Chains A and B, each alone.
Chain A
Amino acid sequence: MVPLTHYLILSATLFSIGVLGVLVRRNAIVVFMCIEIMLNAVNITLIAFDRYLNQHDGQIFSFMVICVAGAEVSVGLAIVIALFRNKPTVNLDELNLMKW
């Protein structure tokens, strides 16, 4: 049987990789993908705790996380398309119109 710690370490590793990608990459779409990695890492934690505590609340919660991820991606990619129409780049360092 796999101990719970293994799942938590997997989840923490994936979350760290997602944060690394968000901090390091400059392509807006790849940054979105890294956010998806982070959401997935959280789902692993929720479902693992669910299994080890014999409850199903965490599965409902990760269902909601998937819903929010879908909403976030559709709106985010629409924003990327709208930005691309104004200025043909997805480089996040060049999109600094609202920077103070």
Chain B
Amino acid sequence: MELLIFYPLALVSVGLALGVVLNKNPIGSAVCLIGMMLGLAAVFVLLQAHFLAILQILIYAGAIMVLFMFVIMLLNLRDDDKIWKVRERNIWLSSLTGAMMVGVLYKIIDIIAGAEFNAPAKVPDEFGTVEMVGTALFTDFVLPFEVASILLLAAMVGSVVLAKSKVD
């Protein structure tokens, strides 16, 4: 039963991810990426990570993609990629890198498939809820949480300074 839900979700996500890469228009890429984020949020729900699914929709499909759309429309990039070509200069290096990476990932999956992970653990009902993740976040992981807030502050200041028109 779960497989019947999982396969369409995975196929839609992979197809939309390919759409991001193959689309000629940056706006089309962004719309495909929003669809892929929503599909992945559904995959997270399937894995009982409800809090992360909501965060995925709010932050990725909401905030980050609005930022992308905003910049694309601000820069008015409609005709930028009309001639869609592969970078000629490093095509061999690119294919070599890609082949090596696919090989490494395949090997990792091969090793993990041999281990005894295929039966999922029994999890409590509140697994992945805001309460459980929040408790872990504010007890065991307080320091990373605070460091993340400093990181976001630094990113905020940095982006304002970078996008400012002229330094006085």
Taking beta carbons and an 8 Å cutoff, which residues of A are in contact with B?
1-10, 12-21, 23-27, 29-30, 32-34, 36-37, 40, 43-44, 47-48, 50-54, 56-57, 59-60, 62-64, 66-75, 77-82, 84-85, 89-91, 93
Contacts and interface: CB of A to CB of B under 8 A. Distances in A.
Interface in B53-81: 55-56, 59-60, 63-64, 67-68, 71-72, 74-75, 77, 80-81
Interface in B75-91: 75, 77, 80-81, 85-87, 90
Interface of B: 2-3, 6, 10, 13-14, 17-18, 20-21, 26, 29-30, 33, 36-37, 40, 43-44, 46-49, 51-52, 55-56, 59-60, 63-64, 67-68, 71-72, 74-75, 77, 80-81, 85-87, 90, 94, 97-98, 101-102, 105-106, 108-109, 112-113, 117-123, 127-128, 132-133, 136-137, 140-141, 144, 148, 151-152, 154-156, 158-160, 162-163, 165
Contact of A78 (B21, B36, B86, B158): B158
B16 to A, nearest CB: 10
For the residues of A in contact with B, the DSSP-based class is helix
29 contacts: A1-B119, A13-B14, A14-B13, A17-B20, A20-B98, A24-B87, A24-B94, A27-B80, A27-B81, A29-B71, A29-B75, A30-B21, A30-B29, A30-B81, A36-B60, A40-B36, A44-B40, A50-B49, A51-B121, A51-B123, A59-B128, A60-B133, A60-B140, A63-B55, A63-B133, A68-B151, A74-B67, A75-B158, A85-B165
